[in-house]
Structures are given as C-alpha cells and as structure tokens.
Amino acid sequence: MVDYSVNSSVALLLVNNPPVNALSHAVRKGLADGMLKATKDTKVKAIVIAGKGRTFPAGADIREFSGPGKEPWLVPVGNGIEASGKPVVAAIHGTCLGGGLEVALFCHYRVALKSARVGFPEVAIGILPGAAGTQRLPRVTGLPVAFDMITSGRHVPAEQAKKYGIIDEIVTGDIVNAGIRYAMIMVGKSTIPRRLRAKPVPDAENVQKYADAAMAHVKRKYKGYEAPVYCVKAVRASAEKPYDLGVENEKTLFNVVGKSGQARAQQYAFFAERVVGKWEMPGGNSQTAKPIPVRSTAVIGAGTMGTGIAVCILSAGLPCYLVEQNQKFLENGLKTIKALMEGSVKLGKISPEVGQRAASLLKPTMSYDDLTGVDLVIEAVYENLELKKEIFAKLDKVCKPSTILCSNTSSIDIDRIAVATKRPEKCVGVHFFAPAYHMKLLENIYSTKTSPDTAATVMKLGKTIGKVPILVKSCQGFLANRMNTPYGTESGFLVEEGALPWEVDQVMEDFGMPMGPFKVRDLSGLDVGSKITAEIAKTLGVTLTDETRFMAGNRYSHMNTVLANMGRLGRKSGKGWYKYEKAGGKIASIDDDVITVLNNHCKKLGIERRTISSQEIIERLMYSCINEGFKILEEGIAKRPEEIDISWLYGFTFPKYLGGPMYYANQVGLGRVYDRICYYHENFPFSKHWVPSQLLRRLSEQNIPMSQWMASPGARL
Ligand SMILES: CCCCCCCCCCCCCC(=O)CC(=O)SCCNC(=O)CCNC(=O)[C@H](O)C(C)(C)COP(=O)(O)OP(=O)(O)OC[C@H]1O[C@@H](n2cnc3c(N)ncnc32)[C@H](O)[C@@H]1OP(=O)(O)O
Ligand SMILES: NC(=O)C1=CN([C@@H]2O[C@H](COP(=O)(O)OP(=O)(O)OC[C@H]3O[C@@H](n4cnc5c(N)ncnc54)[C@H](O)[C@@H]3O)[C@@H](O)[C@H]2O)C=CC1
C-alpha cells in the first residue's frame, strides 16, 4: 500500500491505494514503517511522500468509520513524520484532502502541481478533521481562512493554497521527480523551525471575534447540521489551548460528532451519490453503454427552464443554440441568460473567462433549420403533449440521424413524446429542477425504447454540466415529482383538518426542510397549483367548486384554489398563504385573514377542526411520500433506494443529515413506518397514497432492514 524506494539520497514513500489513495489502515501502517526505515537508513538525507496514480491521498478511508478502526492512528504517524530530523516533503497532485492534507501538514515542506487542490471536506460527511488538522491549519493560514476552509469543506486550488501559506512551491512536470528535486535542496536544513506544532496561531488574541463570526455564519448557513458547529469549536481551541491539548480536544469532539446519526447519514449520502452513477436499465448499464460525444447542443424554449438549462450548458463551455417561436421571448431569454451568467461570475461559480466565452457560444435563433448538425437537443416548451410531439417530429426531420432528442417535461411519459419520431431509441427525458442553473439534480428518464447509449450520453452530460444525474424508468411524474406529490396533498389536508399553514411550515423547517410547504407554494405561485388542478379536473370530467372534496374517488382539497381565486397568488401578489411586505416581497408574516378563510371553508364543508401534533404532521408528510417511494421501487421506476434519496437531497433540498427519505425510514424502523401507514390508510381510506406498499409490507413483516435489502439485490421482490 506504500511503495518504498530510495532515489540517490531521497527516500520515496509512494502511497499506492487506488482509486484515491485513501489512508486505510494498511496505508497508515505503510507510512509509519516507511518513516522508520528512512530514518534508520543513514544514506537517506530527505524523504518525499507522494501518491501513485491520480492523486495524493484524498483522505481517510470513509468505509473504515463504520468499524472499530485499527492502530496506527493518523496522529502518531504524523507525529513521526514531523519529528524526523530529515526534511520530509509532501509532493502533491490531484486532490489532497482531509487526512491527506493532515499528512501534508505534518511534513516540513509542501510542493504541488498547479492543477492540485487541497481541502478539509470532512464537514460534508458529518465529521471534523480528526488528525490535528484543526490545530495545524490555523498555524499556517491564520484563523479566518482556517474557519472558512474547515467549515465550508471547499477545495482550494494550489495557487490559492500557496497564497494562504499551505503550499511552499508550485512545481511542474512529474510530481514525484519535482518532489525529489525539492527535497534534495532541503537536505541538511534543520527541520525544527518547520514543525507546525511549535508555531503560534497568528492573531490568536482576536479568536473570540473570529470564532463568534464563524459560529454565527455556520448556524445561519448550515442550519440543523452539527458538524460545522464542532468544526468551529475545534478550530477555536487552536488559539486558546497549547498544541497538544488542542489535539486532545479535537479528538474528543471527533469522537462525539463522528458517532452521531448525522455523520452516518451524511456518509451514506456520500456513497449513495456514487452508487447512482452505476446505473442499469434493460439492455445495458453504466459499464457497457457508450455515450456519444456531445460537442454542440440546442435548447428549445427560452422560458424559465430553457434559459436555466442554457446557463448550465454554457457554464460547462459547450456551444448552445437557443430556439424560440417568439422574438420578444427570445430577447427576454437572452437578457436572463446574460444576467445569470454575470451573477455566476460574481459568485465565483464560473471564471470571468468562461463568462465571457458564453456570449460567443450562445446562438439565438427562431429557425429549427439551424439545428441540422447539433449532437443533442433539449426541448423545454410548455407542458403540452401535442406541442411537444410537434416539436419532436420537427427535430426528427431537421437533425442529423445521430442527434439525441431530450425533453425537460416534468410529468409526461417519454414514450408518448417519442412516438412522434422515427428514432425513439434516441429520445430521453432530462428533467431539470427549478432553478435549473442552481439545483444539482438531473433526473434522466428512459422510455421503453430509449437505448442504453442514449441513457449513457445524458448521464455523462449531467456530470459535464456539474449535476448529480440519476436514471429512472418513465412513468407519470417519474420518480421525484411522483413521490413528492403526497407531500403537497397531505399538507393541504392538514390545514383543512385544523393545523395552520405556519404551524405546518415550522414543523417541517424544524424537521430540516429549508422551507415549509406553504412558503414553497407562495414562492411558486398559487395560480400554478390551481391551474394544474384545473387541468386534472378537466381530464377527469370533474367540475370544481368551493365544496369539491373528491376527484375520481380520491380526497381533494380546494383551499389553494379558494385563495388563488381571491387574488392571493403568493409572493408575487403580496398575499398567499402568508402576507408579505409588498407584492414581490420575501418577508412572510402570519395573516389572520387566512385563518378566517380557512374557518369559513371548513364550516362550509362541515369539517370540525382539531389540534394536530407535530408528530402527525411529520408522519403525514413524510410517510405518505415514503410509501410512494416503496411503490416506485416495487414498479422498478427506480432500481435502488439511493436513487430516491439522491433525488430528494438534490431536487428538494432534503437535509443531508437525515440521509434522504428512504434512509430516514430505515432509521425510524420499517416496521413502525409500515404500521403508521396502515393506521393512516384506515383513517383516510379515500387517499390512494395511503394504500400500503406491498414491498414495504414484506420488508416490515419479515423484519428486513433496508440496508440488508440494499446489499442483496437478489432479494428484491
Ligand atoms: C468515531 C468513529 C470511529 C471511527 C474509527 C476510525 C478513526 C479514524 C480516525 C481518523 C482521523 C482522521 C480524520 C480524517 O482524516 C478524516 C478524513 O480524511 S475523512 C475523508 C476526507 N476526504 C473526503 O471526504 C474525500 C472524499 N472523496 C471525494 O471527494 C472524491 O472521491 C474525490 C474528489 C477524491 C475524487 O472524486 P472523483 O474523481 O469524482 O471520484 P469518485 O468520487 O467517484 O471516487 C472514486 C472512488 O473512490 C471512492 N472514495 C473516494 N474517496 C473515498 C474515501 N475517502 N474513502 C473511501 N472511498 C473513497 C469512491 O467511493 C469511489 O469508489 P466507488 O467504488 O466508485 O464508489
Ligand atoms: N417551471 C418549472 O419549475 C419546471 C418546468 N419543467 C418543464 O419544463 C418545460 C418548460 O417549462 P417552463 O420553462 O416553466 O415554461 P415557460 O412557459 O417559462 O417557457 C416555455 C417557452 O417555450 C416557448 N415555446 C413554446 N412553443 C415553442 C416552439 N414551438 N418553439 C420554440 N419555443 C417555444 C415559449 O415561447 C416559452 O418561452 C415544461 O415542460 C415544464 O413542465 C420542468 C421542471 C421544472
């Protein structure tokens, strides 16, 4: 795991643990043994630590965190490195993260390729740097940078890291050779002044000010997450305690936060994100399918979604046609894209060069004939099957035979659109989430005819444009919207039965959702929901009135439309489920008028309002969705619970510290969740979403935890 060699007078400790050279037990042992050997060998005058293959160690082996762990721990290994009288150089390429950066900070010198990145991403997996990183980084960078890097987990490019003092020199060429050259220059120099443990933390007297600011920041930005709070406490101690006590304190904090449910959930989410990249569908999978190269693209429709999607594509440096039917909409769309790109540059999401290049990559047009040569088209016009079919038929005629035709439809079965073409195998759904330039989920949808190569192409495109792509089978609403539907429906029923909108919102925000369901409705507009309901009613032949309580035998709440009909459209009209400081305002406050409307509505319907507990609110909103999630698995719409959890984490900003709704269900206990679903089914027989999933029933009755079920696909159904 650590290859040892001596090159003239320099010993090389080359970590060899693909793919990311994680600091597993064998690597730690290899480093300790290598240091011992190099120290004893009188011919060795300096030592280089580097990584073989793609990277310097990218951190501890996260999989080891679920076991008891084994000595040697990283701190004693690091102490051995630091105590060496022979200069030790970390030669860094790729990603030097977490424990990897801690190893580098134990070394006396650090050189890096310009393309390398360093960072402490532990906070993202619910822990803190536990091998003295919280004590050593502040001694190099000072407190503000250390607080920022450790609580954000951001990866810092090598040149920036050099400015912070983390990297001593940017080198070129082969990293091992560059490390050895640098080490030879350091031969004979005392290592004592390079030992970070003995250095003071700069500006330590102002620790209170920096720590308070950091704590206020993390409590606001990472509300509900425990790890950032622990990170602040650990870094703070670096300025308040002698080095060894600071390290002890870090260990104590690490042991608490590292054993928390949040850490386990966040580590599950880390691996779930990687699992969904290994997709499978009838006829192929991520290993066997071949994506076609995408060098040019087009987006049809310059509305809300089309412009957002174009921004994603342009930010990745890909050329993009933007096609509209209406000149004014096209001009407005271009203005939106320009503003969004400028905003991305300002926020540092893209470089100014990429921002400038976008102008030449974007090709607005009103003519489909320009699209002959593009590799991939994304349609984002109104949600209307006939219109989408018309566009797909047109694209099928003008585009070259290899062009992949994608639809951003939020609900229409892809098969129903693909029939309009002679290339159904090249038709696929690519469902972005609003705002498309911001939300990380890309829900790719295969139809009965989509080929694995087409699926591979959109999965790869997702990664290229910085999204987390998942692949699911087509059905009405697909995975994300279908599963999320009971969340909205049940919140509507809860306010009819006695809860107040702000009570429901508060409970769900305390649960961890960034915004309660009624604030979300106000944000997207009550008219939007009301129009969708009206469309469904039309299809079902139902005439909606204020007294309507059922649609096609299913319970229904008309309250949203009642408010929308009063002109209460949400934020945009200054009133909705809440009232706002002005039309377009953002500050929501409780509105007594809504209570009056609700009371009148309930009186009309003969509903006696009652007190509803927080527990019931969470169960009704979450368990109804979880039940649907199990049906989605039963039907093979998603292959694994990980696809479901990722869709909620990145499509609906479900808190990562709960892992995702399916992981959460497993934590609650599938038996309990199933029993409560049965209870609600008995009490609310007219809501289809409470009909218990058969898969959940089986897992619950046989007492099979989801983790076991996930690990043995053969046991599925
Ligand atoms: C209280 C608990 C008791 C526990 C006892 C043990 C105590 C030990 C004390 C430890 C004290 C030290 C503390 C410490 O050092 C903390 C850490 O270092 S935590 C880890 C920090 N590092 C990270 O979080 C990096 C995570 N990885 C990434 O961000 C990306 O993988 C990376 C940027 C490195 C590369 O990205 P990319 O090229 O896109 O590749 P993939 O992401 O697809 O990864 C490829 C492959 O590698 C697997 N993998 C990646 N990182 C790790 C890792 N750190 N451990 C294990 N495995 C890792 C990844 O899952 C992929 O494999 P698949 O098989 O494909 O899933
Ligand atoms: N708005 C949202 O939050 C989300 C919407 N979607 C889906 O994305 C699609 C687009 O939705 P929005 O962007 O919200 O709609 P939108 O109404 O903002 O924009 C649609 C645009 O398409 C243009 N258009 C219509 N016919 C056209 C044609 N024949 N050729 C070229 N352009 C044409 C219109 O002029 C309009 O500018 C829909 O299918 C919707 O269901 C998906 C995810 C989220």
Structure tokens at 435: 């705002």
Q: What is the pLDDT of residue 534?
A: 87
Structure confidence by residue, pLDDT tens digits, 493-536: 999 999 999 999 999 999 999 999 999 999 989 998 888 888 88
Tokens of 542: 């139902």
Classify domain 284-474 at the CATH topology level. Rossmann fold (3.40.50)
Closest to 165 (Cα-Cα) out of 149, 180, 152, 185: 149
Going by pLDDT thresholds of 50, 70 and 90, the confidence category of residue 709 is: low
95 close to ligand 1 (CB < 6 Angstrom)? yes
| Model confidence pLDDT, tens digit, residues 162-192 | 999 999 999 999 999 999 999 999 999 999 9
- pLDDT, mean of residues 677-690: 97
Same fold across 499-605 and 614-708: yes
Question: What CA–CA distance (Å, rounded) separates 502 from 519?
Answer: 8
Where does the pLDDT of residue 714 fall: very low under 50, low under 70, confident under 90, or very high at 90 and above? very low
Between these two residues, 446 and 553, which has the higher pLDDT value?
446
**Residue-by-residue DSSP string for 132-199:** THHHHHHHHH-HHHHHHHHHH---EEHHHHHHHTS-SEEE-S-HHHHHHHHHHHHTT--SGGG-GGGS
pLDDT of 454:
98
**Helix segments in 442-553, DSSP class H:** 452-464, 480-497, 501-511, 517-524, 526-540
Residues 159 and 82: their CA atoms lie apart, in Å, by 24
Confirm or reject: Cβ of 62 under 6 Å from ligand 1.
Answer: yes
Taking alpha carbons only, the member of 378, 400, 382, 373 closest to residue 325 is 382
Name the residue with tokens 């925000």: 509
Tell me the pLDDT band of 49, cut-offs 50, 70 and 90: very high
The number of the ligand nearest the C-alpha atom of 256 reads: 1
Q: What is the DSSP letter of 450?
A: -
Distance CA 465, CA 542 (A): 43
Between CA 608 and CA 518 the distance in angstroms is 22
Top-level class of domain 2-122+129-196: alpha beta
Atom of ligand 1 nearest to the CA of 64: 6
Q: What is the dihedral of CA 244, 248, 254, 257, to 10 degrees?
A: -130
Residue with tokens 């400081």: 581
Q: In this predicted structure, what is the pLDDT of residue 711?
A: 55
Predicted local distance difference test score (pLDDT) of residue 710: 63
pLDDT for position 668:
95
- Ligand of minimum distance to the alpha carbon of 124: 1
Predicted model pTM = 0.95
Protein residue with its CA nearest to atom 41 in ligand 1: 274
Judged by its nearest atom, the ligand closest to the C-alpha of residue 651 is: 2
C-alpha closest to that of 39 among 92, 82, 102, 76 = 82
Our answer on whether the CB atom of 305 is closer than 6 Å to any ligand 2 atom is: yes
* Ligand 1 atom with minimal separation from the 62 CA: 55
74 lines ligand 1 (CB under 6 A): yes
The ligand that comes nearest to the alpha carbon of residue 301 is: 2
- Per-residue pLDDT tens for 78-104? 999 999 999 999 999 999 999 999 999
User: Which candidate, 262, 366, 267, 380, places its Cα nearest to that of 313?
Assistant: 380
Give the neighbor-by-neighbor strand order of the sheet with 117-119: 95-97, 117-119, 156-157
Domain boundaries, given as residue ranges, for the chain: 2-122+129-196, 284-474, 499-605, 614-708
Residue 468 and residue 441 in contact, taking contact as beta carbons nearer than 8 Å: yes
Ligand 1: which of 20, 27, 125, 230 to mutate, most ligand atoms within 8 Å of CB?
20
Q: What is the DSSP letter of 206?
A: G
Q: How far is the CA of 215 from the centre of ligand 1 (A)?
A: 26
Handedness of CA 331, 337, 338, 343 (dihedral sign): positive
Q: What is the mean pLDDT of residues 132-149?
A: 98
Higher-pLDDT residue of 225, 703: 225
The residue whose CA has the least distance to atom 1 of ligand 1 is 258
Q: How far is the CA of 395 from the centre of ligand 1 (A)?
A: 43
Our answer on whether the CB atom of 104 is closer than 6 Å to any ligand 1 atom is no
Quote the strand ranges of 550-598, DSSP E. Answer: 550-551, 554-555, 579-580, 588-589
Distance between Cα 575 and ligand 2 center (Å): 26
Question: Rounded to the nearest whole angstrom, what is the distance from the C-alpha of residue 61 to the centroid of ligand 1?
Answer: 5
Going from the Cα of 521 to the center of ligand 2, the distance in angstroms, rounded, reads 19
3-state secondary structure of 312: helix
Q: Tell me, using a 6 A CB cutoff, whether residue 379 lines ligand 2.
A: no
> Complex ipTM, two decimals?
0.93
Count of C-beta atoms within a 10 Å radius of residue 394: 16
Ligand 1, closest atom to CA 254? 1
* 462-468: average pLDDT: 98
* 614-708, CATH topology level: N-(1-d-carboxylethyl)-l-norvaline Dehydrogenase; domain 2 (1.10.1040)
Ligand 2 pocket, mutate which of 410, 481, 531 (most atoms under 8 A from CB): 410
**pLDDT at residue 572 above 50?**
yes
Instruction: Please report the atom of ligand 1 found closest to the CA of residue 65.
Output: 4
Alpha carbon of 305 to ligand 2 centroid (Å): 6
The dotted CATH code for 499-605 is 1.10.1040.10
- As a whole-number percent, the residues of the chain with pLDDT over 90 amount to 92
pLDDT at 715: 42
- Using alpha carbons only, give the angle 225, 229, 230 rounded to the nearest 5 degrees: 110
Calculate how far, in angstroms, residue 27's C-alpha sits from the geometric centre of ligand 1: 14
pLDDT of residue 139: 98
Would you please indicate which residues are annotated as catalytic (active-site) residues?
60, 99, 102, 122
